[in-house]
Amino acid sequence: RTLMLALGGICAIVGGRLCDLLGLKFVLMVGLTGAAACGLAFQSTNFWIISCFVMLAGIASGPMSAASQSYLISSVGRTRLGIGGGVFFLSHSLGGSLGSFFTGMIKPTWNFQQIGIAMALTAMIVVGIAIALLPDISKSPTTRLDRKELLFWRTYLPLLQKVEVQLLITMRLCITGFWGMATLLLPLLIYRVSGDAATAAFYGSLSLAIAAGCQITTGWIRDRFGKSIPLLVSALGIAVCAAGLGLSPDSLLGLFTFGTGLTGTAWAVSVLVPSLIDEIASSEEKNRLVGLGHLAWSTSMAIGGIAGGVLVEINSSLPFFLGVFLALGGAACLLALCRRLDRQTQGKNA
């Protein structure tokens, strides 16, 4: 998983720039091939062949994330990006849930090879439908690539020098780093306390339901009242839930209450990231900032997962108390970012 996250993050940087050079639709089609690679991985029992397909899926996830979020930002007006982001991320959660549900239904009668073939064929059908029906809303791709255009550091360095981008990336590293710890530890701790795998599975389903409600609600609030209130309330909610989890790592009720609360508030922040990217970046920079944001997300998830596994063996409360400080750091970044963006907006309207 860590390797897939790393590959996806690195390739998202490449994908963001390729969206500028080759167009959103082409890059998205490349990214969608990752689903087919996952299905083909089930067709072999050789470790190295399976690893190659898994790495291919990780590589493809970067361009897919960059292109799909850029599609969202480009196709939905700024005043509706809150609810648009909510529906976008809800489709990911709902798709994963339905996939797990149908896999569970057919697994008693299908073997892994048959399931893999079905996955690959479904992915190819999706690619075909996307090629036929999905409009290419990006600018006309560059037909002749200058060598300097392929030097990624030349295009990303100006972004990294922006204070707003630095605040956004730091927020991502703080909040997503803690989320990476929590997603690893919460099912593990619930299983340890309850001694029942079904309880941990029920927690996962309940968390997804809570997250779905928070995604749509947060998006609606953002579109109606602005970004600052839902962002800051959600970030502070993450800190409160982290403190609650740190105080009750051996309580099933505490783990369920604060764990589902953490899931809802963490997803609420993620839903609003596309709208922040839309405000921070110019039209020429948006694709690259999406790729940079996915790199920050992947890095944070990978480091958080590793750190959480180490810290929980020292003390089960330690990762969550660290999460309090990370969440407060993320909230401070969001406060500073919202103030800067609001001042810029007021300056333009003056």
Rounded distance between C-alpha atoms, residue 281 and residue 287, angstroms? 9
Nearest by Cα to 269 from 242, 247, 238: 238
What pTM does this model have? Answer: 0.87
At residue 146 the predicted structure's pLDDT band, cuts being 50, 70 and 90, is low
Contacts with 203 (C-beta within 8 Å, 6 or more apart), sequence order? 186, 187, 190, 255, 256, 259, 260
Which residue, chain included where needed, has tokens 């996830």?
61
Angle of CA points 233, 173, 251, to nearest 5°: 60
Which residue, chain included where needed, has tokens 């707003």?
164
Least confident of 56-60, 270-274, 288-292: 56-60
Q: Is the pLDDT of residue 185 over 90?
A: yes
Q: Is 190 exposed, middle or buried (0-12, 13-18, 19+ CB in 10 A)?
A: buried
Mean pLDDT, rounded, for 204-209:
82
State the angle between helix axes of 318-349 and 228-247 in degrees (0 to 180), rounded to the nearest 10.
Answer: 170
Cβ atoms of 86 and 216 within 8 Å: the answer is: yes
- What integer pLDDT is reported at residue 153 of this predicted model? 63
- What integer pLDDT is reported at residue 138 of this predicted model? 64
Cβ atoms of 238 and 178 within 8 Å: the answer is: yes
Which residue, chain included where needed, has tokens 């255009």?
149
**What does the mean pLDDT of the chain come to?**
86
Rounded distance between C-alpha atoms, residue 236 and residue 349, angstroms? 30
Contacts with 208 (C-beta within 8 Å, 6 or more apart), sequence order? 93, 97, 263
Q: Is the pLDDT of residue 157 over 90?
A: no
Structure tokens at 202: 């029920």
DSSP classification of residue 23:
-
Would you tell me how many other CB atoms lie within 10 Å of the CB of residue 88? 20
> Which residue type does 74 have?
S
Cβ atoms of 131 and 29 within 8 Å: the answer is: yes
Structure tokens at 206: 């309940």
Q: Is 108 exposed, middle or buried (0-12, 13-18, 19+ CB in 10 A)?
A: exposed
- What integer pLDDT is reported at residue 321 of this predicted model? 96
Rounded distance between C-alpha atoms, residue 24 and residue 196, angstroms? 45
Rounded distance between C-alpha atoms, residue 193 and residue 178, angstroms? 21
Q: Is the pLDDT of residue 102 over 80?
A: no
DSSP classification of residue 226:
-
> DSSP readout, 150-214?
G-HHHHHHHHHT-HHHHHHHHHHHHHHHHHHHHHHHHHHHHHHHH--HHHHHHHHHHHHHHHHHH
At residue 143 the predicted structure's pLDDT band, cuts being 50, 70 and 90, is very low
Rounded distance between C-alpha atoms, residue 283 and residue 300, angstroms? 26
- What integer pLDDT is reported at residue 350 of this predicted model? 60
Mean pLDDT, rounded, for 239-244:
96
At residue 149 the predicted structure's pLDDT band, cuts being 50, 70 and 90, is low
DSSP classification of residue 149:
G
Give residue-wise pLDDT tens across range 119-140: 888 888 888 888 888 887 765 5
Contacts with 194 (C-beta within 8 Å, 6 or more apart), sequence order? 200, 252
Give residue-wise pLDDT tens across range 293-348: 999 999 999 999 999 999 999 999 999 999 999 999 999 999 999 999 998 887 77
Structure tokens at 90: 């809800």
